[in-house]
């Protein structure tokens, strides 16, 4: 019988790759790495103390999730979704989120419900302390927790990509000054999940996505040099 267990070096390599991936993923989720940021293989290798081959492998994974763009002969950058791409991401996320809460309703254990409540409490605490980046990451991770609890591995994998892409969309198109309301809406959703009310859970998630989209300016593309300074041309 063939031994399919990974060898110690393979396990170490996988753990190393996962750690670097998580650092970059979280930085994008926290909006510390803005859309368009160049991701130098050489610099990242120096920062993480690994070879460019390892960095290239991690960047390839992030590219497959559409979180970064790999440009031939020009290197990698954090993805910059266009308005059309942003609309598509939000539509896909809405559909996935509704499916996830429908699956999660009634199957979450008491321990999982408490885990969600603790997560939201921590999220609210970060917002109240002004730690915007960490709070945004926690808000996204709330939805990843839901995906895990839904018990559907493909949906969970899909959501990792969608949550990070949504963070990029928000970084590009958010209307500044809008109040954070995710904590209250997350808490309401937890109550409904605990009750096992699938229809209400889907309804609340739909409203939650409405509020996320209401904070975005998707009626036109971000300003360009031409739109800002074009009037100065003779």
Q: Along the chain (234 residues), what's the average pLDDT of each consecutive run of 10 residues?
A: 68 90 89 90 93 94 92 90 94 97 94 96 90 86 95 94 91 73 83 96 96 86 55 57
Domain count, the chain: 2
pLDDT, position 62: 93
If asked whether residues 18 and 109 sit together in one domain, one would say no
pLDDT, position 222: 54
If asked whether residues 186 and 173 sit together in one domain, one would say yes
What distances in angstroms separate CA 83 from CA 5, 92, 159, 168, 175, one per listed residue? 45, 14, 20, 12, 14
If asked whether residues 203 and 136 sit together in one domain, one would say yes
Domain presence at residue 195 = yes
If asked whether residues 53 and 106 sit together in one domain, one would say no
Of 185, 148, 178, the C-alpha closest to 163 is: 148
Q: Alpha-carbon distance 67 to 31, whole Å? A: 12
pLDDT, position 196: 95
Instruction: List Cβ neighbours of 183 (8 Å cut-off, separation of 6 or more).
Output: 120, 123, 124, 127
Domain presence at residue 233 = no
pTM for the whole structure: 0.81
Q: Quick one: how far is CA 192 from the chain centroid?
A: 23
Domain presence at residue 55 = yes
pLDDT, position 54: 94
Domain boundary among 78, 113, 129: 78
If asked whether residues 173 and 125 sit together in one domain, one would say yes
If asked whether residues 103 and 210 sit together in one domain, one would say yes
What distances in angstroms separate CA 182 from CA 14, 139, 205, one per listed residue? 34, 7, 11
> Whole domain around residue 181: which residue ranges?
83-214
CATH number of the domain bearing residue 148: 1.20.120.530
If asked whether residues 105 and 199 sit together in one domain, one would say yes
Domain presence at residue 2 = no
> Any bridge partners for residue 69, and if so which?
77
Q: How many CA atoms lie within 13 A of 184 on its CB side?
A: 5
If asked whether residues 72 and 113 sit together in one domain, one would say no
């Amino acid at each position: 019988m063939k031994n399919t267990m990974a060898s110690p070096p393979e396990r170490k390599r996988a753990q190393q790759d996962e750690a670097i991936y998580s650092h970059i993923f979280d930085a994008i989720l926290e909006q510390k790495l803005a859309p368009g940021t160049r991701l130098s293989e050489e610099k990242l290798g120096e920062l993480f103390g690994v070879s460019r081959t390892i960095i290239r492998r991690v960047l390839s994974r992030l590219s497959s999730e559409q979180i970064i763009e790999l440009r031939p002969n020009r290197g990698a950058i954090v993805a910059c979704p266009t308005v059309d791409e942003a609309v598509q991401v939000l539509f896909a996320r809405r559909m996935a989120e509704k499916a996830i809460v429908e699956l999660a309703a009634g199957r979450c254990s008491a321990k999982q419900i408490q885990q969600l409540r603790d997560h939201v409490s921590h999220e609210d605490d970060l917002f109240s302390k002004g730690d915007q980046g960490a709070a945004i990451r926690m808000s996204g991770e709330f939805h990843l927790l839901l995906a895990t609890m839904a018990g559907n591995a493909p949906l969970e994998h899909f959501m990792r990509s969608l949550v990070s892409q949504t963070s990029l969309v928000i970084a590009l198109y958010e209307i500044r000054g809008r109040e954070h309301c995710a904590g209250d809406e997350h808490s309401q959703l937890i109550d409904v999940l605990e009750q096992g009310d699938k229809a209400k859970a889907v309804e609340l998630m739909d409203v939650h996505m409405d509020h996320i989209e209401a904070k975005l300016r998707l009626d036109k593309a971000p300003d360009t040099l031409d739109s800002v300074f074009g009037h100065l041309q003779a």
